[in-house]
Structure 1
Amino acid sequence: MDRALHERPGHAHLLHTPQTDSIPFSRPTTPGQHAAQIGFCGLGAMGYPMARNLAKWRREHVPGSLPILVWNRTKSKAEELRKELGDDLITVADSLEEIANECEVVFTNLAEDSVVKNVYEAFAKALNESNPTKNKIFVETSTIYPTVAAELDTLLSKVPHTHFVTSPVFGPPAAAAAAQLLIVMSGDYRSKKEIAHILIPSVGRKAMDLGGNIEKAPTFKLIGNSLILGSLELLAEVFTLSEKAGIGASQVQQFIKDTMPAPPLISYGEKMVQDNFDGSKGFAIDGGLKDSAHIRKLATELDSPMPALDAAHQHMLTARALHANQVRRGHAHYGVLDWSSLVAGARVAAGLDGFDSSKHQKVVPED
């Protein structure tokens, strides 16, 4: 997906002219796109480009817009964004309490459920102490387990004038950088309407409405990620079979380009073929394992077997174990693995080298 997004001719105009069906809500009459104080918490691989795009868009398209107030557990990351965009676009918050009290709209993009809970507990504590009189909307964009969303909603609903929306996003960091994320939303209708017009097209290319049940958007996010992860597992198995047959994964990758050129298949296929498993530029394997654990838990609760996900989970564990051994020996090529490295699990199970496909026998084209 990331490569296709960058190579798509003329994609930049999409940032300013969203399709008419890209937002499922009419534009709010009030407050609408006004000079609200917006906060953003979590400046990781996804949050950093999201906050950057949001700040730049509002300065260019929303008259009188205020600098985005940002917070990150490692403050240097927030200072980096402020330095990149300038004080007129970014202000760094000293605490979560400052974010909760000063902002009308707060976006969060955080690594895992426990961190999300801690951040929202800090928000709730600050709000209960300050008794806000203005409406506030908190928007969680991470991948969390659905019941966690319900806990957060219960936590914030006790605070007057406070609303909560789940709004997970689909797309790798490259899609976030290009403001081409797919955004899924559930929760309070009026709040979703406001948030959709803030995020499209500043951060994403399209919003989907999953209704009022706060758990539906996080559930849909897990379903979508299961499709992506299942596709990675299928790629890994097919590529490994082609390597064992002495044909080579690159031949199969070309077949995919010719017959089923879906962006995720092409981009992740290229990473596997080229042994390009740099998680610092993609989706880190720890995040993949967290997501697969959530998906398997959901499948278990709903009695809906997903054997492909079970295999993908085990292959990611194998890849991570192999990488940890390389790190101990000082032979690791990457500090963090991308989740496409799960192909290493399939390769090793088939008796091949996990991370170096140059050691595999391949077809040599004749002159």
Structure 2
Amino acid sequence: MSTEHLLANLGLPYSRPATPGAHSNAQVGWIGLGQMGYYMARNLAKRATPPGSQHLPLKVWNRSIEKAEKLQEQLGKELIAIAKNIEEIVLTCDVVITNLANDDVVREVYEQCARYLRLSPPVKNKIFVETSTILPRLSGELDTLVSRLAHCHYISSPVFGRPNVADKAQLLIVMAGEYRSKKEVAYLLVPSVGRKVIDLGENVEKAPTFKLLGNSMILGAVEVIAEAFTLGDKAGIEAGRINELIGEILPAPGLMGYADRMTRDHYDGVDGFSLDGGIKDASHIRHLTAKYNSPMPIIDVAHQHLVTARAIHAAQKEEGTQSLDVLDWTALIAGSRVAAGLDPFHSRKDKAVVEEA
């Protein structure tokens, strides 16, 4: 089999780095062990080792140390080392990967990293890999910040997939940035963390733009499905039947997973994609539509419904009547259900139409 076919099977658009496995024995650091980051870091720590070599334990840091301790307990000290602070990660690691909650946290962490490296400039190459979903403009700012530091490179690398996909190391990885660094990172992350890399070139703003385009398709589809479930409820069509139809005409695993949640009124965000994360992404998409004068009306509606769901949930928390602490973004169905005169989160409550036997 040719090298090109081997690369294609591995899901990598690059030849191997000039020094094969250059980072196989490097110190890799991970910042951020949230819903996605925990699984990604765990899988990276367990990555396969080339014959005759071994990799150092993954060094991790999280604001709440409990997550880091849980990961270390799960994998052992041979695979996970807990850093005392961000400074230790930055100064001792050759590759630093971040997966964080929002743009403000990302900016704060990278500014800290830059401060430490100005005081202790690195003497060899150091790669920063940002995997969160952020505004493209921020990615450009981070590239400027990191590139001004000696021997430092920045790779924008958002990922597609929910936590259950991250758990299975089946994420779709997008990359943009300096070519040689992308090759190093790609061979580090595939197949340990994801199944494939899509290369968006050297402009680091392209990768987060691409990620937001993908999320716009997913969010738009989730909104349409939510509206269909609501109309079906009003018309007396059983949710299970609608779910069956979605499997027949829209058989995408991700969409079927979201449809299944709506069918079961299962809106727990602990094991899904949080409502706040959905609002953040919808806001970022709307920012792009305004910047490029390219309207996406369905995203405007989805954003309104996400905010409606959060408002209802907040009111329930104040009353002490909420059943969940964190909502999944499929809870946006509350917007169309309330507009249709139905209970926001319970499709089996107060049926508008009696279904025929």
TM-score norm. by structure 1 comes to 0.92
Structure 2's unaligned 5+ residue stretches are 1-5
> How far off its partner does 1:61 sit?
6.8
Distance in 2, matches of 1:257 and 1:251, equals: 10
Question: Is residue 58–residue 65 contact of structure 1 (8 Å, CA) maintained in 2?
Answer: no
Partner of 1:269: 259
Measured in 1, the distance between the counterparts of 2:346 and 2:43 equals 37
| 2:71 matches 1:81 | yes
Give the distance between the partners of 2:106 and 2:51, measured in 1 at CA.
31
Q: What letter matches 2:279 in structure 1?
A: L
Greater Cα offset, 28-37 or 306-315 = 28-37
Contact 2:24–2:49 under 8 Å retained in 1: no
CA separation of 1:162/1:195 partners in 2, compared to 1, >3 Å: closer, same or farther? same
Residues 165-176 of structure 1: pairs in structure 2 closer than 5 A? 165-176=155-166
Counterpart secondary structure, 2:306? helix
- Residue 357 of structure 1 aligns to a residue in which SS? coil
The 8 Å contact of residues 158 and 211 in structure 2, kept in 1 or not, is answered as yes
Shift of 1:128: 1.1
1:110 and 1:116 in contact (8 A); partners too: yes
SS where residue 57 of structure 1 aligns? coil
Q: Which moved more, 1:326-335 or 1:170-179?
A: 326-335
Range moving further from structure 2, 289-298 or 323-332: 323-332
Secondary structure, aligned partner of 1:97:
helix
Report the counterpart of residue 216 of structure 1 in structure 2: 206
Matched, 1:293 2:273: no
Q: Calculate the aligned-residue CA RMSD, in Å.
A: 1.6
Identity %: 55
Quote the Cα distance in structure 2 between the aligned partners of 1:153 and 1:62: 36
In structure 2, how many angstroms separate the alpha carbons of the residues matched to 1:259 and 1:83? 44
State the Cα distance separating 1:248 from its structure 2 match. Answer: 2.8
Instruction: Report deviation, 1:240.
Output: 0.8
Query: Deviation of residue 256 (structure 1)?
Result: 1.3
Query: Does residue 191 in structure 1 map to residue 193 in structure 2?
Result: no
Deviations 1:144-169 (A, max 9, x none): 00010011111111111100000000
Q: After the TM superposition, which parts of structure 1 deviate over 3 Å for at least 4 consecutive aligned residues?
A: 58-62, 361-366
Contact in 2 for aligned 1:240/1:249 (Cα 8 Å): no
Deviation, structure 1 residue 64? 1.9
Partner of 2:303: 313
Equivalences, count: 350
CA distance in 1, matches of 2:231, 2:277: 27
In the alignment, residue 120 of structure 1 is paired with which amino acid? Y
For the Cα contact (< 8 Å) 1:248–1:363, is it kept in 2? no
Alignment of 1:153 onto 2:143: yes
Distance in 2 of aligned mates of 1:155 and 1:259: 46
- Contact in 2 for aligned 1:35/1:62 (Cα 8 Å): no
Aligned residue number for residue 25 of structure 1: 14
- Per the alignment, residue 3 of structure 2 pairs with none
Deviation sequence 1:228-257 (CA, Å, 0-9, x none): 100111001111111111123322211111
Please give the alpha-carbon distance, in whole angstroms, between the structure 1 residues aligned to 2:69 and 2:7.
31
Q: Which residue is equivalent to 1:349?
A: 339
Equivalent AA in structure 2 for residue 286 of structure 1: D
Distance 2:87 2:305 in 1: 41
Instruction: Give 1:311 shift.
Output: 0.3
Whether 1:252 aligns to 2:221 is no
Distance 1:54 1:335, change over 3 A: same
Distance 2:130 2:248 in 1: 39
CA distance change for structure 1 residues 30 and 137 in 2, over 3 Å: closer, same or farther? same
Corresponding residue for 1:6? none
Deviations 1:248-293 (A, max 9, x none): 3322211111222111221101101111000001000001000100
Preserved CA contact (<8 Å) 1:18 1:201:
no
Measured in 2, the distance between the counterparts of 1:38 and 1:312 equals 38
Which structure has more relative contact order (CA 8 Å, sep 6+)? It is 1
Match of 1:53 among 43, 48, 62: 43
Deviates most, 332-341 or 21-30: 21-30
Which residue in 2 is equivalent to 1:337? Answer: 327
Aligned mates of 1:230, 1:190 — CA distance in 2 = 36
The structure-2 alpha-carbon separation of the partners of 1:61 and 1:176, relative to structure 1 and needing over 3 Å to count, comes to farther
Contact 2:238 2:355 in 1 (8 A): no
* SS of alignment partner, residue 81 of structure 2: strand
Query: d(CA) in 2 for partners of 1:318 and 1:163?
Result: 41
Q: Which residue of 1 aligns with 2:128?
A: 138
SS in structure 1 at match of 2:236? coil
Matches within 5 A, 1:175-186: 175-186=165-176
**1:72 to 1:56, Cα distance in 2 relative to 1, 3 A:** same
| CA displacement at 1:345 relative to structure 2 | 0.7
User: Runs of 5+ in structure 1 lacking a partner?
Assistant: 1-16
Deviation at 1:336, TM superposition (A): 0.3
Which of 240, 252, 259 is the matching residue for 2:230?
A: 240
Equivalent AA in structure 1 for residue 297 of structure 2: P
